[in-house]
């Protein structure tokens, strides 16, 4: 009514919820919006948003976050953030933006990798040819070739080529930067 008292209850679709509506949230249901508790007391599971596994007690005047789980008590909440304007939706947008945009360090790592990989492959091929020629010419003790590859000169030279690729390949650089960005995004979303 005009004095702000509840004069009746009705069920409405979530899409029809508006700011300043008073919402009754029963135990075992999710908060339909961000808002402030105006009546009642409850425990809320905020793990979805904060990562905290312990329930948080909410009393009159406390803020609640949409999509968190009302566990124990009946509360009335004044809607302050609905639909696209909820904290959870804002977090999702920030995470999506962080994942789709490239950090300057990632662009630099891609640039270095694009130049470095062909050089590493060329050096690996040269190493293969040198060790193959050395093994076939007898410049390498046969005991080495026999021990490592049962006398197969091709496989012996191939071991050196693969070693060059494994040691010098900038794949670690190409994987480390996106991994660091993802971890940083996750930590930022929790905080």
Q: Reply yes or no on whether the pLDDT at 89 is more than 70.
A: yes
Judge whether 70 and 42 are in contact, CB under 8 Å.
Answer: yes
| Local confidence band at 11 (pLDDT 50, 70, 90 cut-offs) | confident
> Which residues, at least 6 apart from 71, have a Cβ–Cβ distance to it below 8 Å?
27, 28, 42, 43, 44, 45, 55
Write down all domains in the chain, each with its CATH number in brackets.
14-82 (2.70.150.10), 102-190 (no CATH)
Q: What residues form DSSP beta bridges with 77?
A: 23, 37
Six token digits for residue 151: 């006398």
| Local confidence band at 126 (pLDDT 50, 70, 90 cut-offs) | very high
Dist. CA 151–CA 140, nearest whole Å: 11
Q: Reply yes or no on whether the pLDDT at 66 is more than 80.
A: yes
In the chain, how long is the greatest CA-to-CA distance? 101
Q: Reply yes or no on whether the pLDDT at 1 is more than 50.
A: no
Count Cβ atoms within 10 A of the Cβ of residue 131 and give its class: 0-12 exposed, 13-18 middle, 19 or more buried: buried
- Overall average pLDDT of the 23-37 stretch: 92
Among candidate residues 11, 71, 57, 68, the one with its CA nearest the CA of residue 34: 68
Q: Reply yes or no on whether the pLDDT at 177 is more than 70.
A: no
Six token digits for residue 34: 């961000």
Among candidate residues 49, 56, 54, the one with its CA nearest the CA of residue 95: 49
- Overall average pLDDT of the 69-98 stretch: 87
| Local confidence band at 171 (pLDDT 50, 70, 90 cut-offs) | low
- Overall average pLDDT of the 42-64 stretch: 90
Q: Please tell me the predicted confidence (pLDDT) of residue 27.
A: 94
Supply the mean pLDDT for the chain.
83
C-alpha distances in Å from residue 140, one per residue of 126, 147, 175: 17, 12, 37
Dist. CA 34–CA 104, nearest whole Å: 35
The structure's pTM equals 0.53
| Local confidence band at 124 (pLDDT 50, 70, 90 cut-offs) | very high
Among candidate residues 38, 10, 52, the one with its CA nearest the CA of residue 191: 52
């Amino acid at each position: 009514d005009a004095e702000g008292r509840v004069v009746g209850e009705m069920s409405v679709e979530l899409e029809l919820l508006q700011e300043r509506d008073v919402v009754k949230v029963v135990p075992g249901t999710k908060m339909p919006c961000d808002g402030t508790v105006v009546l009642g007391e409850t425990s809320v599971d905020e793990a979805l948003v904060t990562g905290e596994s312990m329930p948080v007690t909410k009393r009159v005047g406390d803020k609640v976050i949409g999509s968190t789980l009302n566990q124990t008590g009946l509360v009335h909440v004044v809607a302050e953030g609905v639909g696209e304007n909820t904290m959870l939706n804002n977090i999702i947008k920030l995470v999506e933006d962080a994942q789709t945009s490239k950090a300057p360090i990632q662009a630099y790592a891609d640039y270095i990798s694009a130049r470095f990989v062909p050089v590493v492959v060329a050096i690996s091929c040269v190493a293969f040819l040198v060790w193959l020629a050395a093994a076939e010419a007898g410049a390498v003790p046969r005991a080495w070739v026999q021990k490592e590859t049962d006398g197969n000169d091709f496989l012996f030279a191939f071991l050196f080529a693969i070693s060059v690729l494994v040691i010098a390949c900038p794949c670690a650089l190409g994987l480390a930067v996106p991994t660091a960005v993802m971890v940083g995004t996750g930590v930022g979303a929790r905080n």
